Amino acid sequence: MNVKDTDLDKYNQKYYQIITLWAVLEGFLGGLIHGLHIPISGLLVGSGAIFCITLLGIHFPEKGAILKAFVIVAACKFLLSPQSPPTAYLALAFQSILGQILFSTPWSLRVKCFLLSIISLVESGIQRLLVVYFIFGMGFMDAFDDWMNKVMNSFHISSYSLLFMILYLLLHLAVGIWLGNALNRLIQMKWNIYDKSIEIPTTAGELIDNKKTRSWFWPWILLGSLCFIYFDILNHKDWIYLVVRASIIVIGWFFVIIPFFKKLMTIWIKNSQENQNNDIQAVMQAVPNMWNLVKFFWQKNSNLAWWKRIKLFYYDLGGYFISEKS
């Protein structure tokens, strides 16, 4: 790293602060999503990851800096939220690799932010659609189309499922464009005058327990909708096939794939803690203080509407970490 020896400690401190922020945002946003029953979790959690990757790309454009951060964050994510599915780590890996590639190019920062935001969020949407297709298969798509045509008997569309998938991806694209623009505005602000004298509470706060805030509201709604479609449209043989297919995949996912994945992650983290200069332990120890900072900025504008609150939340964090005084 091209840093003067006198600035090395401060340089490394900021690097690990942003990594800790990334790890905390994963747990914080995950808990918030479960608490508010928000079904589009990929948009919110992905936005937090993109925010942190952008911070790393601005301060640490060196080769491999973002990928090293991803390894540490993935381990901390597993320790903080062991119930996270393997697909969450795939999305995290994709965003990190894409960020490392983009911030290694000579392109303008504006282009990098837009490409990172748009591609990452659209990929997240595609990944979720592929999971649905893998579980239920083409038969479910056809049944959904037939059911929608039956409900909308005066307005037929050849493929409602395709229409919903397109709209779902367009939503991710729109949020990606908005996020890319917000990141550019955030970076261009004169953060050298940002007030760094704010007092942050030092009492260790408790991280959101995702297990306690986990909600079964949306899964039950989905299950009820599927059962209605199956019994209303499909004949006896077809709906039994689809239910059995989905059941086998879900059981295999929860009782084979996820336990195996957790076992591999446990072994990997144990080896990492022994061979990577205790980076994981250092970040985990810094999590309580970083959580206090995140909680402080989240509560700072609690009187505002939620969309303004989220925007100012990221602006405050951005100011804190982008400021020349940080």
Highest mean pLDDT among 7-21, 94-108, 289-303: 94-108
Residue bearing the bigger pLDDT, 16 or 156: 16
Tokens of 266: 């446990």
Amino acid, res. 147: W
pLDDT at 315 (0 to 100): 81
Task: Answer whether residue 10 shows pLDDT above 70.
Answer: no
Cβ atoms of 23 and 287 closer than 8 Å: yes
| Distances from the Cα of 276 to the Cα of 208, 273, 280, angstroms | 28, 6, 8
pLDDT at 199 (0 to 100): 54
Residue bearing the bigger pLDDT, 35 or 97: 97
| Distances from the Cα of 73 to the Cα of 6, 123, 269, 279, angstroms | 27, 20, 11, 10
Region 273-298 average pLDDT = 81
Residue bearing the bigger pLDDT, 205 or 137: 137
Sign of CA dihedral 171, 177, 181, 184: positive
Model pTM above 0.95: no
For residue range 243-253, list pLDDT tens digits in order. 777 777 778 77
Half-sphere exposure of residue 45: CA atoms within 13 angstroms, side-chain side: 25
Confidence label for 266 from pLDDT (cuts 50, 70 and 90): confident
Average pLDDT, the chain: 76
Highest mean pLDDT among 27-36, 38-47, 187-196, 297-306: 297-306
Cβ atoms of 133 and 100 closer than 8 Å: no
The three-class DSSP label of residue 1 is coil
pLDDT at 176 (0 to 100): 94
| Distances from the Cα of 162 to the Cα of 33, 39, 73, 150, 238, angstroms | 27, 19, 35, 17, 21
Residue bearing the bigger pLDDT, 326 or 112: 112
Gyration radius of the chain's alpha carbons = 22
pLDDT at 255 (0 to 100): 79
Cβ atoms of 73 and 284 closer than 8 Å: no
pLDDT at 208 (0 to 100): 41
Residue with tokens 């922020």: 21
Confidence label for 214 from pLDDT (cuts 50, 70 and 90): very low
pLDDT at 43 (0 to 100): 81
Cβ atoms of 85 and 260 closer than 8 Å: no
Amino acid, res. 314: Y
Residue bearing the bigger pLDDT, 208 or 258: 258
Q: Which of 8-12, 141-145, 263-267, 278-282 has the lowest mean pLDDT?
A: 8-12
Residue bearing the bigger pLDDT, 148 or 197: 148
Task: Answer whether residue 96 shows pLDDT above 50.
Answer: yes
Spatial CA neighbour of 78 closest among 218, 292, 258: 258
Helical spans, DSSP H, in 37-80: 41-59, 65-80
Enumerate residues 6+ apart whose C-beta is below 8 A from 277: none
Task: Answer whether residue 103 shows pLDDT above 90.
Answer: yes
Task: Answer whether residue 73 shows pLDDT above 70.
Answer: yes
For residue range 17-72, list pLDDT tens digits in order. 999 999 998 876 655 554 454 556 678 788 889 999 999 998 888 888 999 999 99
For residue range 126-182, list pLDDT tens digits in order. 998 888 888 777 777 777 777 777 777 756 677 788 888 999 999 999 999 999 998
Amino acid, res. 223: L
Residue with tokens 């077809």: 238
